[in-house]
Structure 1
């Protein structure tokens, strides 16, 4: 009977450890894939400052922006923007970033 209890305890600890490890690895994979897909070539402080100020909300044109920084965030992070007509990487050159 004592052996069965010891075996059950060992199995329970193994299961618990496995669940914690899987949770940890899942968090690492999500953090890594998001950082690579969205923020390639940017520093961590740039990513944090962008996330706290702006968010993608469907706006696509310069006339919908309120600053050069906002336009730069949108062109780097949001799909289907129409703010860089000459494809030089600088959005809204006539309105905000010129």
Structure 2
């Protein structure tokens, strides 16, 4: 029971800041400066559009996709080759 309680407490400590950050991204600029710790009254998607267009988030997103795709491909190829060798190799003893 104690371990479950600690896991629930840990999950709340991890999820709550993420939830707050996502919800704060829907605030207007005035809301961020006037009430930084509160949740938004209504969802405002303008800041998401500005981040995508003015801050060039599309370029950063494409870079992330390329890096993750290359890393994933390399890991799969090398992992498959290592698994094949380890499965076929006769270990002494």
- TM-score, normalised to structure 1, is 0.36
